[in-house]
Amino acid sequence: MSSKIARLASDTVVYGVSTVLSRFLTFLLTPLLTNYLTSTEIGEIAALYAMIAFVGIVYSLGMEPAFTRFWEPANEDGNTQTFRMAFRVVALISCGITGLTILNADWVAGSPFLSLGHQGAHLVAIAALIPLLDGLVLIPFSRLRMQQRPRVFAALRLLSVVVTFVFTVVFVVLLGWRIEGALWAGVIGNLVTFLLFVPGIIRRWPKGPAPKGLFGEMLSFGLPTVPSNFSSIMVQVADRPIMLMLTSSSVVGLYQTNFRLAIPMMMFVTVFEYAWKPFYLTHRTDEDAKQTFSRVFTVFTAVCGFIFLCTAFFIGYVVQMPFVGGRFVNPDYWVGLNIVPVVMFAYYFNGVFINMAAGLNIEKRTGFFPVATGAAAVVSVLATWLLVPPFGIIGAAWAKVIAYVVSAVILYAVSQRIYPMRYDWSRVLSMIVMAAVLFSTVMLLDLSGPLALISRAIATILYVVVTLSLLKGGLAAVKGMFRR
């Protein structure tokens, strides 16, 4: 048993580290592009990638979860048949929709979800290749996961990001291809990964008819997962096309750039999720399981508060640092820095959702997840429509907060009925209020020069000191996530 848990922990670390590195490299493209592209061009890229995210759900048609569900470790022949079926379905859908998109690129570019300029059809044709290649590697990547080959999986994922990063520098910075260069870099990054998978795909290419009934069985399992995945994507990126309809590509570019500056909170929540799920599934039968889970949530909130203050207080200095092409972030985008604290608040509530998911996963009552994400998706769309016209990008950021709050509250209410836990709300709320008060006080003082830095440092240190006294022994719970 201990060896299995150790293997799980090792795999989690590999997946987590590769994800962090990939997202960090992707983040570095943000300051790079602000120095070489206009806010309008960045907004157009954001809108295109939002559409790519939605299209990716359609391309998969639920075949990835179906493939993992029908995987049997001791049945290689059966797994090969399952792989062939899943890959064939995804490949046919991906190629078909991509072809239609390219043939109708003018119409797609002129839709209200994109509203691209005179070169819109050209951009759509390039961008259409990205989800196609994503779809073609979806099942091969899933197969690596089921074979428990995390290092190969992580290496290929990271390679794709590195190639994309390198070619973005070459095309955008050195050759001056601007938005086309950024898109072609994404295509090449995905293409390299696909080409590495080609030999394995050829070996398993469908020969003869598939087993009778296999497609129907896989579809009946995978198709119901599509609405939930679609809702999750809506919460994450639906605000971009909505903002495009309500404002302009330039405003979307401003929003997109500053949204990504909240990466410290996003990265922490991502790493926490990788460690959290195996931790609570491993220790769900412990006598003190619920008490430990409650302490973890308290410590999670404490760390989020620290990250919030550090980022919110010092991001204004970070963006002024020298970088390729000028500053870390082009001064034209600094006007949108006020959304960074709000976006971090949204990420925190996404983390609350992840914490609250423990009970439902332990009790195998996952049917409530689509309810929470579906409600959040509806709220996200409505809130964005209502808040963007009067408040602009800050309204879009608060719409994101509201959506994640709704999903977290729904999951908390349901999980308390199914798997009741006593959270230390007095400490949790105390830390949230303290972080908010310290942040507001420093902002209201509006000091400049050395006094501004000193006040921010003092406020952060004060938060750490008071929080440590509130936590008492709670830190041991989080340390246990990485020891046990």
Residue among 77, 50, 82 at smallest CA distance from 64: 82
Of 365 and 298, which is predicted with more confidence? Answer: 298
Segment holding 327, helix H or strand E = strand 326-327
Helices (H) and strands (E) in the chain, counts: 21, 2
Does residue 203 share a domain with residue 142?
yes
Pick the residue with more confidence: 364 or 359? Answer: 359
* 33, part of any domain: yes
The yes-or-no verdict on residue 45 having pLDDT over 90 is: yes
pTM (global) more than 0.85: yes
Lowest mean pLDDT among 57-66, 209-218, 336-345, 394-403: 209-218
In this prediction, residue 3 carries a pLDDT of 53
Residues 310 and 183 in one domain: no
Residue 475 is predicted with a pLDDT of 53
Question: Measured at the alpha carbon of residue 463, what is the angle toward residues 448 and 449, in degrees to the nearest 5?
Answer: 10
Q: Which two tokens stand for residue 294?
A: 């409650």
97 and 148: one domain?
yes
d(CA 237, CA 232): 9
Indicate the residue among 162, 192, 223 that finishes a domain.
Answer: 223
Measured CA to CA in angstroms, residue 193 lies from 52, 166, 180, 342 at distances of 18, 15, 20, 36
SS3 414: helix
Q: Which residue has the tokens 């069985």?
A: 217
Which pLDDT does position 201 carry in this prediction?
83
The average confidence (pLDDT) of the chain is 88
Q: Are residues 134 and 61 in the same domain?
A: yes
Number of domains in the chain: 2
Range of the structural domain that residue 415 is part of: 244-483
Q: Indicate if 214 and 268 belong to the same structural domain.
A: no
Is residue 179 in a domain?
yes
Residue 238 lies inside a defined structural domain of this protein = no
What is the pLDDT at residue 336?
94
Instruction: Please state, for a pLDDT cut of 90, what percent of the chain lies above it.
Output: 57
Please classify residue 334 by burial: count the beta carbons closer than 10 Å to its beta carbon, then call 0-12 exposed, 13-18 middle and 19+ buried.
Answer: middle
Same-domain status, 112 and 251: no
Residue 181 has pLDDT above 70, yes or no: yes
Q: Which are the contacts of 417, defined by CB distance < 8 A and separation ≥ 6?
A: none
The arithmetic mean of pLDDT across residues 355-375, rounded, is 86
Does 254 lie in the same domain as 112? no
483 pLDDT more than 60: no
Which of the listed residues 223, 252, 278 is the one where a domain comes to its end? Answer: 223
Q: Is the per-residue pLDDT at 2 higher than 50?
A: no
Q: Do residues 216 and 302 both lie within one domain? A: no
Q: Has residue 358 been placed in a domain?
A: yes
Residues 6+ apart with CB under 8 A from 208: none
The residues, ordered by sequence, that sit 6+ positions from 170 with a Cβ below 8 Å of its Cβ are: 181, 185
* pLDDT reported for residue 183: 96
Which tokens sit at 181?
Answer: 């260069």
Give the pLDDT band of residue 480 (cuts 50, 70, 90). low
**Pair of tokens at residue 329:** 């972030």
Give the CA-trace dihedral at 115, 119, 124, 127, to 10 degrees: -120
Phi, psi of 238 (to 5 degrees): -65, -20
pLDDT category at 288 given cuts 50, 70, 90 is: confident
Give residue 224's pLDDT band: very low, low, confident or very high (50, 70, 90).
Answer: confident
* pLDDT, tens digit, 9 for 90 and up, residues 410-460: 999 999 999 999 999 999 999 999 999 999 999 999 888 899 999 999 999
Does residue 229 lie in a domain region? no
Q: Are residues 306 and 429 in the same domain?
A: yes
Domain co-membership, 170 together with 262: no
Q: Which residue has the higher pLDDT, 271 or 135?
A: 135
* 312 and 452 share one domain: yes
Pick the residue with more confidence: 391 or 3?
Answer: 391
**Amino acid type, 466:** V
Last residue in a domain, options 223, 255, 274: 223
pLDDT of residue 481: 45
Does residue 275 belong to any structural domain of this protein? yes
Contact assessment for residue 21 and residue 158, using Cβ atoms and an 8 Å cutoff: yes
In a domain, 231, yes or no: no
pLDDT of residue 226 exceeding 90, the answer is no
What does the pLDDT average to over 280-295?
A: 83
Same domain, 147 and 296: no
Distance separating the N- and C-terminal Cα atoms of the chain? 12
Q: What is the pLDDT of residue 175?
A: 94
Is there a domain that residue 4 lies in?
A: no
Which residues touch 82 (CB under 8 Å, ≥6 apart)?
67, 70, 71, 214, 218
Query: According to the model, what pLDDT value does residue 8 have?
Result: 53
On the CB side of 327, CA atoms within 13 Å amount to 13
pLDDT digits (tens, 9 = 90+) for 190-210: 999 999 999 888 876 656 666
Q: What is the mean pLDDT of residues 306-320?
A: 95
- Measured from the Cβ of residue 151, the count of other Cβ atoms closer than 10 Å reads 13
Whether 473 shows a pLDDT value over 70: the answer reads: no
